[in-house]
Structure 1
């Protein structure tokens, strides 16, 4: 998903500046944690009807993009 930026916002007054799905207070990390805990896309959408598949995919794309820039520093 190359246009995930239109679905993610970072506002210091919402959730302490955590990246959120635009128009909601649902943070990218919330979606990642739900998926990591075993929730399916359908279960997340059922519990949070303001989300849809494109918003969940935007959260995953955002996280993947951030991960590309994480550098590991090896201990000497």
Structure 2
């Protein structure tokens, strides 16, 4: 598990400090949005040749860890 998580990097000089994959300037957020839109791992890998399957698995694992919170405050959409 930790080996996959090592693929997620945070560097203030890259993408304004957002979590990225291996410092390649692919934000975790963007890759999650692609998967949520229905793109398969294979389709993403075809579009972004410098990514590896393990990178996308690390993105999913990272999101899973972030979702393990005790409570979420609902924001008012005012």
| TM-score bin (small chain) | 0.7 to 0.9
| TM-score, with length taken from structure 2 | 0.84
After the TM superposition, which of the residue ranges 3-12 and 25-34 deviates more from structure 2?
Answer: 3-12
Give the length in aligned residue pairs: 74
Matches of 1:4 and 1:70 in 2, distance apart?
24
Q: Which of structure 1's runs of 4+ aligned residues deviate more than 6 A?
A: none
Matches of 1:37 and 1:31 in 2, distance apart?
10
The residue aligned with 1:57 is: 57
RMSD across aligned C-alpha pairs, in angstroms? 1.6
| TM-score, with length taken from structure 1 | 0.86
Q: Is contact 2:21-2:28 (8 Å) kept?
A: yes
Q: Where does the alignment leave 5 or more consecutive residues of structure 2 unmatched?
A: none
Deviation at 1:5, TM superposition (A): 2.4
Matches of 1:11 and 1:36 in 2, distance apart?
25
Matches of 2:73 and 2:30 in 1, distance apart?
27
Question: Any idea what the Cα deviations from partners look like across 1:2-52, whole Å, max 9, x if unmatched?
Answer: 432210100111111110001300011111000011111111000001111
The residue aligned with 1:37 is: 37
